[in-house]
A and B are shown apart, each in its own frame.
Chain A
Amino acid sequence: MDAVVKKIIMEVKKGDQQAFAELVDLYKDKVYQISYRMLGNVHEAQDVAQEAFLRAYTNLDSYDMNRKFSTWLFRIATNLSIDRIRKKKPDFHLDDPVGGTEDLNYYSQIAADEELPEDKVVQYEMQEWIQNEISELPPKYRSAIILKYLEDLSLKEIGEILNLPVATVKTRIHRGREALRKRLRNS
């Protein structure tokens, strides 16, 4: 795997722009998943994930070939996602109560345009709910939890991606787990 990746990178560096498409295909799902779980929105996720690949392309000369390419790429994606979160204005949530009403939230204002089978609805709502809970975490815990539990990365790798010592990564995972536990325990 690593040899293949190195070979592609060498080709790109030599000027074969098309070879970069192979690199995108190899990592697009993981990069997209990181951005999506960080931002909780498909449009922003696509935007940030594509931007991550563009940055990787334009900065390829600064990538150290002795290190893992995915670590470098995930770092770009994580940083861009965090930047995006910081720039976001505090916007309204679908869960927020509609002004002047007691128990209407914005979900109830969306007209269902198609009937989904019951089990699909339950599954969809479950996924929505988990993503919402992840999105409520402070970004620094969110990134650690996503890299650990959704990308299945080692603490060492997470440390390299987030540019943190392993001990700090552990603390963030612990705090992230605690915060989620408090929110999820009554579910």
Chain B
Amino acid sequence: MACEKTKTDLLHKYLDEEMTLLEKKQFEQHLMGCEDCEKHLRELRKTIAIVQSTSHVEAPPDFTAGVMSRLPQQSKSNKWKT
């Protein structure tokens, strides 16, 4: 847990690189001395790394054919519409 509740928001802001240079410096100063926040940040980084390590899944090979076979039948008038 971050040392205070307000610090959790700062942690996320820091993680997303949304701080001004000054805010960043001040927060890094805080991180140096605060074990709780430092641990919290490490856990968040690990969480993101774990989520990003999921392999990309691909649609099954017959996917497109499946969609195409379910499309509504075209009427003749539609077919020749320009």
Contact = CB atoms under 8 A, between A and B. Distances in A.
Interface of A: 14-15, 17-18, 20-21, 24-25, 28-29, 31-33, 36-37, 42, 46, 49-50, 53-54, 57-58, 126-127, 130-131, 134, 145, 149-150, 170, 174, 177-178, 180-181, 184-185, 187
A167 B57 CA distance: 29
Contacts of B80: 15
Given A15-B78, A181-B47, A50 B67 contact: yes
Given A15-B79, A177-B44, A185-B43, A127 B63 contact: no
A133 to B, nearest CB: 8
Nearest to B51: A149
B52 A149 contact: yes
A159 B67 CA distance: 28
B63 A33 contact: no
A50 B43 contact: no
Interface residues of B, number: 35
Interface string B35-63: 00000100110111011111111111001
Contacts of A145: 51
A32 B51 contact: no
Contact of A177 (B12, B68, B71): B12
Contact of B51 (A42, A126, A150, A178): A150
Given A21-B64, A178-B8, A181-B43, A130 B50 contact: yes
B53 A130 contact: yes
A33 B79 contact: no
Contacts of B26: none
A146 to B, nearest CB: 9
Contacts of B58: 29, 32-33
B57 A50 contact: no
27 contacts: A14-B82, A15-B74, A15-B78, A17-B74, A21-B64, A24-B63, A25-B64, A28-B63, A29-B56, A29-B57, A29-B59, A31-B59, A32-B60, A33-B58, A50-B63, A50-B67, A53-B67, A57-B72, A127-B54, A127-B55, A150-B51, A150-B52, A150-B56, A170-B16, A180-B51, A185-B47, A187-B50
Contacts of B51: 130, 134, 145, 149-150, 180
A184 B47 contact: yes
Contacts of B46: 181, 184-185
Interface string B10-48: 001000100000000000000000000000100110111
